[in-house]
Amino acid sequence: MFDAVVLAGGGKREPLTEQEKVDNKAFILINGQPLLSFVLKALQEAPSIQNIVVVGPDQDLLKLRNQENDYVIVPEKGSMLNNIAAGLEEVDKNRLCLVITGDIPLINADVVEDFLILCEPYDHDLYYPILSKDNCDRHFPETKRTYVRLKKGQVTGGNLGLVNPHWFLENKARLELFISYRKKPVKMLRILPAALVLKYPFGMLSVNDLELFISRLLNLKAKAVHCNKVEIGMDVDKTSDLAVVKNFLANKRMTW
């Protein structure tokens, strides 16, 4: 069993939130339900998830919570790292915890369970999903994502991960650089060892290379999880993302 921390903190005003007239994109409505509700439903229906902690605007989260939609509320603390830390303080620190963003409404319980199974035997401190560009393009050709070209093709990351709470809380400071460069592959290359940088232009950089580097940089055992569940990469960051998600869900309802 695992606990889950859901990140639903607000951010700066952006075209998406202004268009939808909300302060926090986690509360953008689709079919009358906020994006966050789709994520919570997936977690609540996933057999492997025990307790759910949501970090975000406490008053809004109180309004959303009910008997069928129960979770621990933690007021947001500002930055993403601070919000993760605040959430992890509320979970069982002796087991891995699922950390997930509140803006990926296409996931469901099966997607959550499939990712957790891929992480077995749970002997690392961080499991992070990677999705192939070919698979993302096959399912959602309209979307634009940030990809890194590796030895076996271009990949992007998902919006969840399995984390060792003890490691995170003890090494939070080490994560600042990694988080700031997460969607900036060129800048990420600047902190890579020379041997890895030389591999990148020739398409010789491997997932194993990155696992070893990140493990040393962040003082942990990190594992990249190859995953075909592209739903975990479909975060709603832009107005175009919202349009794709709405269209997908509308078409899905028509097939029921």
pLDDT of residue 254: 37
CATH of 2-254, one of 3.30.1280.10, 3.30.70.3170, 3.90.550.10, 3.40.50.300: 3.90.550.10
The first and second tokens of residue 151, run together, are 């030895």
Name which of 167, 80, 183 is nearest 127 in CA terms: 167
* Spatial contact of 142 and 240, defined as CB atoms under 8 Å apart: yes
**Cα–Cα distance measured from residue 135 to residue 124, given in angstroms and rounded to the nearest whole number:** 26
pLDDT of residue 47: 97
pLDDT of residue 70: 86
* Spatial contact of 243 and 251, defined as CB atoms under 8 Å apart: no
The one-letter amino acid at 233? G
What is the SS3 assignment for 207? helix
Residues facing residue 160 across a β-bridge: 100
pLDDT of residue 144: 85
* Spatial contact of 87 and 199, defined as CB atoms under 8 Å apart: no
Q: Domains of the chain: which residue ranges? A: 2-254
Helix intervals (H) in the chain: 15-20, 35-45, 58-64, 80-88, 109-118, 133-139, 165-170, 175-180, 185-190, 194-199, 207-218, 239-254
pLDDT digits (tens, 9 = 90+) for 163-206: 999 999 998 887 876 667 655 666 666 666 666 666 766 677 78
Distances (CA, A) of 111 to 39, 47, 142, 231, 253: 11, 12, 21, 8, 18
The Cβ-side half-sphere exposure at 117, using a 13 Å CA radius, reads 11
**Cα–Cα distance measured from residue 23 to residue 229, given in angstroms and rounded to the nearest whole number:** 29
* Spatial contact of 40 and 46, defined as CB atoms under 8 Å apart: no
pLDDT of residue 250: 86
Tell how far CA 141 is from the center of its chain.
20
* Spatial contact of 205 and 196, defined as CB atoms under 8 Å apart: yes
pLDDT of residue 195: 67
**Cα–Cα distance measured from residue 24 to residue 48, given in angstroms and rounded to the nearest whole number:** 28
Looking up tokens 């194993």 gives: 208
What is the SS3 assignment for 18? helix
Mean pLDDT, consecutive 10-residue stretches, the chain (256 aa), reads: 95 83 92 94 97 95 83 93 96 97 96 98 96 94 87 92 96 77 63 66 78 85 95 93 91 51
Other Cβ atoms within 10 Å of 59 Cβ, number: 9
User: What does the chain come to in residues?
Assistant: 256
What is the reported pTM? 0.90
pLDDT of residue 109: 97
